[in-house]
Amino acid sequence: MDKKTILVTGGCGFIGSNFIRYMLKKYPYNIINLDKLTYAGNLENLKDIEKDERYRFIKADIGNKNEIDKVFEENEIYGVINFAAESHVDRSIMDADAFIKTNINGTFNILDIVKRKGIEVFVQISTDEVYGSLGPEGKFKEDTPLSPNSPYSASKASADLLVLAYQHTFGIPAVITRCSNNYGPYQFPEKLIPLMITNALADMELPVYGDGLNIRDWIHVEDHCEAIDLVFHKGKPGNVYNIGGENERTNIEIVRLILDILGKPHSLIKFVKDRPGHDRRYAIDCTKIKKELGFVIKKDFKKGMEDTVKWYIENRTWWERIKSGAYLEYYEKMYKNR
């Protein structure tokens, strides 16, 4: 395979950084990582590969058309994978402005340049949240109607519709992935699993929303990266691929598991006021990507969680630096009086 250049947006975040590391290890591609470095973007996530001659970081905002156009003018780009997004539901409930600018306008800017430049592959990293919430039965399939409930998921659904419209009207080679909840190393410690691990390590309360019985379908980030690799290389333009871990768990089950792995008491759990509009259950039917692209879920959940807890124990400096910064302000606003 020749040394083509792939542009990854949002590569300093949780999934993007895991994906860049995975791709550099597996393929000879050059990778440009375009990231705005918001509160969630951390150059330290890729410290181990920053000197790799096939890797380059560019600080830019996908919401800024001029900045994006410049990157495409100055580089010969073969494929684009768009991870860049505001990704936290709770933040979108506090203030949705950045979600509209990045997730909708930013995706539009990328689509437009992909069309103008005749880029050969475009993957939009979307989410299962665009389908809304499930009752006790059934699973999300690719043709489940979109019914997003939060400003975050509505912004992601809007982007999906733009991607599909651009593919349909202009024939751009676009595919969409919709994955369930990821866990693993380098996840920002305001999302459920890293928040609970880091709070438990500090003997702080573990804030569980509502009755703790909301269900998510958890997948290890490495399995998600493998699925994106398959979609990037083998996905059919205009198609949507669901990705999931076939691993439904209630939030309280996850929190108790973390405490058990750490040998900490369940008395650290504190039930707090529910998230407004909180989706009850997500579950992904990923038959399509398994059958058509050969996706296999590899990581065992219990082992994956033990490895993840171990990673946070061994990388205390990484998350302590985050938690001592701007994150503290957010934490105050979010959990005070809750």
**Residue numbers of the site for ligand DAU (CB under 6 A)?**
87-89, 127-129, 180-181, 191-192, 195, 207-209, 214, 216, 251, 275, 282
Cβ proximity to ligand DAU, 16 vs 207, nearer residue:
207
Any contact of residue 106 with ligand NAD (CB under 6 A)?
yes
Instruction: Spell out a b/e string for 103-142, using b for 16 or more CB atoms within 10 Å of the CB, else e.
Output: bbbbbbbbbbbbbeeebebbbbbbbbbbbbbbeeeebbeb
Shortest Å distance, C-beta 7 to ligand DAU = 21
Q: Provide the residue count of the chain.
A: 338
From the candidates 29, 152, 166, 183, give the one annotated as an active-site residue. Answer: 152
Figure out which of the listed residues 6, 8, 16, 193 binds ligand NAD, where binding follows CB under 6 A: 16
Task: Please name the residue ranges forming H helices in 75-191.
Answer: 89-94, 97-99, 107-117, 151-170
Which of 166/223 has CB closer to ligand NAD? 223
Decide if 306 contacts 228 (C-beta within 8 A).
Answer: no
Active site residue 76: no
**With CB cut-offs between 5 and 8 Å by kind, which of ligand DAU, ligand NAD, none does residue 282 bind?**
ligand DAU
**Backbone φ and ψ of 162, nearest 5°:** -65, -45
With contact defined as beta carbons under 8 Å apart, do 37 and 12 qualify? yes
300 is catalytic: no
Q: Residue 184: which region, alpha, beta or left (left: phi > 0; alpha: psi -120 to 50)? A: left
Nearest distance from C-beta of residue 35 to ligand NAD, angstroms: 4
Q: Is 48 part of the annotated catalytic residue set?
A: no
In the list ligand DAU, ligand NAD, none, the entry touching 21 (Cβ below 5 to 8 angstroms by class) is: none
Sequence-distant (≥ 6) Cβ neighbours of residue 308 within 8 angstroms: 183, 184, 185, 193, 197
Bridge-partner residues for 128, per DSSP? Answer: none
Please give the backbone phi and psi of residue 191, each rounded to the nearest 5 degrees, phi first: -85, 160
Active-site pick, 35, 61, 129, 223: 129
From CA 300, how far away is CA 248, in angstroms rounded?
A: 13
Tell me if 295 contacts ligand NAD by CB under 6 A: no
**Number of residues this chain uses to bind ligand NAD (CB under 6 A):** 30
Q: Report what 195 binds from ligand NAD, ligand DAU, none; CB cut-off 5-8 Å by kind.
A: ligand DAU
Q: Does 15 bind ligand NAD (CB under 6 A)?
A: yes
Residue closer to ligand NAD (CB basis): 270 or 280: 280
* Choice between 205 and 320, CB closer to ligand NAD: 320
CB proximity list for 199: less than 8 A, separation 6 or greater: 205, 206, 207, 268
In the window 46-105, what residues touch ligand NAD (CB under 6 A)?
Answer: 61-63, 83-87, 102
For 54, the token pair is 């096939």
Q: Please name which of 193, 198, 171 lies closest in space to residue 182, comparing C-alpha atoms.
A: 193
Query: Closest distance between ligand NAD and the C-beta of residue 331, in Å?
Result: 16
Question: Alpha carbon of 25 to those of 46, 122, 139: distances in Å?
Answer: 13, 21, 34
> From ligand NAD, ligand DAU, none, which one binds at residue 185 (CB under 5 to 8 Å depending on kind)?
none
- Closer to ligand DAU at the Cβ: 55 or 218? 218
Q: Residue written as tokens 């440009």?
A: 32
Binding interface with ligand NAD (CB under 6 A): 9-10, 12-16, 35-38, 40-41, 61-63, 83-87, 102, 106, 125, 127, 156, 179, 181-182, 188
- Residues labelled catalytic: 128-129, 152
